[in-house]
A and B are shown apart, each in its own frame.
Chain A
């Protein structure tokens, strides 16, 4: 052992004196500046932390693979390998070299984290999070350098050629990053899926997944490396002879290698992160579980978060079930695939249940039989960590349990009663203890604080009508939005407390509410169940809405996105766009099966223009909206493929779909908004507003409640011949 350590020290010393090593270190240090790896999210952390780290990780994988090959081949290249082999075991030498390179990788990662700190800290400013920063550098970047070195050593020891080994590493990298395995997080041996980093909520699912996939690949590559170490050529023998000779001397090594590979494979096979929804999930027919005369009356949930670090909970769900059929009945519950049922009891007696293990969009069915009695009290105990739908394994959309953010909805929170029909909606209540810094927001009534605990937590009671609760909790600031004469609460991250006021974001959101209410009509919300607008994590990639709750991705609040010219030229205007969606998109929907461009986006973009015109004047609106729409539409119309559709037809489907998607995007927003503007120019804005108000209040007639393009054209009193999509 001491000779190995001596060898390691010598190799490390040699490595640090080699100019080639320093070239590799210098390029590795510079690589994050390249920003050449695309990251989907557009939060500040995605732009200024995830992208540099991803670029550094991928470049580092290649660079450290090169360095490893250079170092491993050094004695052979200099023609002294016969001499060194007789002095030091080549196995020990190779192992010492790899360890020295990985030590250097650690040093470079620390240096990188220090060098980029001032820049990234300056850019992220109020949304900077040290755990996210450290996680990015030491969980995403550093292991990428290690993996590159281990993979290169593995191939070199197997084939003994630098060129072939380098190409093998490169090929392995390209294959994992290529389109074949794009959505497969477990194939990403170099850099795990990194779609975005949230600024204000939790990156825990991403880092947990990174940690897990790192463990998987460390097992597989580590085991492979150990096996390949035994293939290092000795005594003039070939690969098999050398393996036999080396294995004889290092008897535990083959077993250890196989154990590592098996451990990696088992971790992969039985991974606890993503569910097993079938690949053809769109073709799966959901079974009909409706039983007439069986329905829940009352649901009481008691949920205890058992580990914020690993994101686990345990819960108890008590159901008062009405069974008026007079027969025992099989009933079904949907529950997130990551939870396991611990017990099911009726009136205190354990009953059998079956887990159907039919994963489908992150939940599976649990079956049990209830007796013929009219009122049944069923209690289900369950625990585990929620899984993410496997389709979303590279975007991490789904349930989150972490110390600073909770997103648990419906079957991610508790078993959900399958299809039923009842005259009255059941009442549901949830008792949950949360860290004192978290403010819960739900679809139901206002959360009741039961008590504050001395350990820095709070007990909450959340209630709702129905059989499910959508629960979000984060360090939110709650602020009322005025305008329109209805109760609106806006919940946003405390990080933005100052920025929100500085940007005038609140003013413009209120102006948007006021504008829409005045021009189109009220939305029906009460003081008990107000309209809640919620800033949510970037991993939702967009927005969503359930009954009284609308969520908006946090990136709408990032200073980069707030200046997105497609949605207006200032930050606050983007928020206005999203507020307007509460009328066009949630209050009322545009849809036409024969006009794919006729959606809520066009009318929302147009309404944003009208609002901004009212607030900032015609010149400003013309320059920042109409002129930009026109330029985008002209550009799309001038596109080679639009002018020459015959070429589009001969393009392979994947390319044609990409191009069509770009053109579709322009028509969806800019094209439709421009067309509505042209109609307004012809009939007058007042008439257009009256038509839109009528449509908003009454809905469409062609495919109610949706408003079709024909409904709109007819309401405006213009002809389709004059105003149409090209």
Chain B
């Protein structure tokens, strides 16, 4: 399994489309840093965890779209043509697909890490690297990326199992959700949270914290994401079983 995972990850990372999307994402990240983040979000420093969270949240629609784009590719015609070969391998097809999705998830996570590095270099070059509290970025980074990408990947896998093209619809839904006026705890893309919440804390330059409702919301997204992924694995396994039973009959 690890071998397949490594192979798939390597294939993704050296994919020309991935490289092109990486460049586009970095360009967008640079525009965000240069246009909004540099001003400091919610009156905090441009290098504060709040500004960093805003930066990642703003990048999130693009990252989620890329994640879904590659998941959709798993259901493409080309992939289906190779299915007869891969299904002959001694690995359950559902698990094989799960590992491939895991590789895509990891690839997009690495892309996010490169965007973080871009932020670090950009802000570090302006404000000196020693002033950038990278350690404080960890919590907002995980809080923004993990639940949203897990949930998106899970949803994409389940929908992709049904119809490959429908994953493009999920991209639309995810992008649309960025514009919906939802309460903080329900936000998949929590840009509004980073813009508004620090101002409600009543102090200037507040330390990073999230309300319990928000934490619960993020936790729910994580759990839903994992359940959807597991569901897609089971769904696939069941479908394969039904197919193989039919074949035997």
Contact = CB atoms under 8 A, between A and B. Distances in A.
B43 A644 contact: no
A556 B125 CA distance: 42
Interface string A13-40: 0000001000100000010000000000
Nearest to A166: B20
Contact of A167 (B20, B39, B44, B204): B20
Interface string B193-211: 0000000000011000000
Contact of A652 (B17, B24, B126): B126
A163 B43 contact: no
A640 B168 contact: no
B20 A635 contact: no
A170 B24 contact: yes
Nearest to B125: A652
Contact of B43 (A166, A170, A639, A658): A639
Contact of B40 (A162, A166, A639): A639
A638 interface: yes
Contacts of A174: 27
Interface string B1-27: 000000000000000110110011001
B168 A638 contact: no
A659 B126 contact: no
A374 to B, nearest CB: 65
Contacts of B17: 163
B40 A651 contact: no
Interface string A620-638: 0000000000000001001
Interface in B198-226: 204-205
Contacts of A167: 20, 23
A235 B152 CA distance: 47
A712 B44 CA distance: 36
B127 A647 contact: yes
Interface string B224-237: 00000000000000
A167 B16 CA distance: 11
B19 to A, nearest CB: 7
Contact of B126 (A638, A639, A640, A650): A650
B20 A640 contact: no
A23 B23 CA distance: 23
Interface in B44-70: 44-46
A647 B19 contact: no
A639 B17 CA distance: 40
A655 interface: yes
Interface string B115-135: 000000000001110000000
B165 interface: yes
Contact of A640 (B23, B44, B172): B44
A133 interface: no
Nearest to A634: B43
Contacts of B23: 167, 170
Contacts of B127: 647, 650
Contacts of A643: 204
A637 to B, nearest CB: 9
Interface of B is mostly: helix
Nearest to A640: B40
A496 interface: no
B38 interface: yes
Contacts of A635: 43
Nearest to B204: A638
A166 B168 CA distance: 21
Interface in A170-185: 170, 174
Contacts of A166: 20
A641 interface: yes
Contacts of B126: 650-652, 655
A641 B40 contact: yes
A636 B46 CA distance: 15
Interface size class of B (residues with CB under 8 A): 20 to 34
Contacts of B39: 641, 658-659, 662
A23 B168 contact: yes
B88 to A, nearest CB: 23
B68 to A, nearest CB: 13
A19 B165 contact: yes
A490 to B, nearest CB: 40
Contact of A655 (B27, B38, B128, B168): B38
A693 B197 CA distance: 46
A662 B40 CA distance: 13
Interface in A455-507: none
A641 B44 CA distance: 9
A166 B40 CA distance: 33
Nearest to A174: B27
B20 A163 contact: yes
A586 B126 CA distance: 43
Interface string A643-681: 110010011100100110010000000000000000000
A336 B205 CA distance: 55
A237 B29 CA distance: 41
B19 A163 contact: yes
Nearest to A637: B43
Contacts of A23: 165, 168
B45 A638 contact: no
Nearest to A161: B16
A162 B15 CA distance: 12
Contacts of B44: 640
A651 B46 CA distance: 11
Contacts of A170: 23-24, 27
A30 B179 CA distance: 14
Contacts of A655: 34, 38, 126
Given A163-B17, A650-B126, A651-B126, A640 B43 contact: yes
B43 A638 contact: yes
Interface in A250-275: none
Nearest to A179: B34
B36 to A, nearest CB: 11
A339 to B, nearest CB: 42
Contacts of B20: 163, 166-167
Nearest to A655: B38
Interface in A371-413: none
Nearest to B24: A170
Nearest to B40: A640
A391 to B, nearest CB: 24
Contacts of A162: 16
Contacts of B128: 650
Contacts of A640: 40, 43-46, 205
Nearest to B51: A640
B204 A163 contact: no
Nearest to B46: A640
Contacts of A30: 172
A647 B45 contact: yes
A677 to B, nearest CB: 24
A163 B16 contact: yes
B147 to A, nearest CB: 25
Interface in A142-197: 162-163, 166-167, 170, 174
B208 to A, nearest CB: 15
Given A639-B40, A659-B39, A644 B204 contact: no
A606 B24 CA distance: 47
Nearest to A635: B43
Closest A-B pairs by Cβ, 7 of them: A640-B40, A163-B16, A638-B43, A640-B45, A163-B20, A655-B38, A639-B43
18 contacts: A19-B165, A163-B19, A163-B20, A166-B20, A167-B23, A170-B23, A170-B27, A635-B43, A640-B43, A640-B44, A640-B45, A640-B46, A641-B40, A643-B204, A644-B45, A650-B126, A651-B126, A655-B34
Given A170-B24, A647-B45, A651-B126, 9 more contacts: A23-B168, A166-B20, A167-B23, A639-B43, A640-B40, A644-B45, A650-B127, A655-B34, A658-B39
Interface of A: 19, 23, 30, 162-163, 166-167, 170, 174, 635, 638-641, 643-644, 647, 650-652, 655, 658-659, 662
